[in-house]
Amino acid sequence: MGVGKLAFRMFGRLFRGKEHARLKSNLRKARMTASPEIYKASSLFYSLFVGIAGGVVGFLVGVLLGLPFPLAIAPILMLGILFSALSYQLFVSYPGMVAGERERLMQQYPMPPPTCMPSVAAE
């Protein structure tokens, strides 16, 4: 079972039945094969792990600053939530960035015209 299927089983109900027109368009333009629901569920799944890492960083900040127990919870929560929210936004906006880069490259380097056209009259 892939990560996308696991994430969809866990978080898929949050995204079912909602419109994802812009994300669907960006996924198609970026040549990504995941459906918008699976992509958003995977983004949420990965952002939770990034949030846990942010909580660990917050714990280390609290330890390094020598904060007592009630005050040490604040950096853990703040950095955990901040890292999680920022990573989710980055994951969701990534297909749009890739699609924009593909479009810029296609405009910058247009396809060359064919140099040899087969002749129909040669038959």
Report the Cα 60 to chain-centroid distance in Å. Answer: 27
Output the pLDDT for position 57: 93
Q: What is the pLDDT of residues 93-118, one digit of tens each?
A: 999 999 989 888 888 887 777 666 66
- Does residue 37 surpass a pLDDT of 80? yes
- Does residue 1 surpass a pLDDT of 80? no
Q: What is the pLDDT of residues 45-60, one digit of tens each?
A: 999 999 999 999 999 9
CB-count burial class (<10 Å; 0-12, 13-18, 19+) for 43 = buried
CA distances, 5 to each of 90, 98, 116 (Å): 21, 23, 47
pTM to 2 decimals?
0.77
Output the pLDDT for position 12: 83
CA distance 113 to 62: 62
- Does residue 34 surpass a pLDDT of 70? yes
Tokens of 61: 């900040």
Domain ranges of the chain: 3-108
CA distance 53 to 51: 5
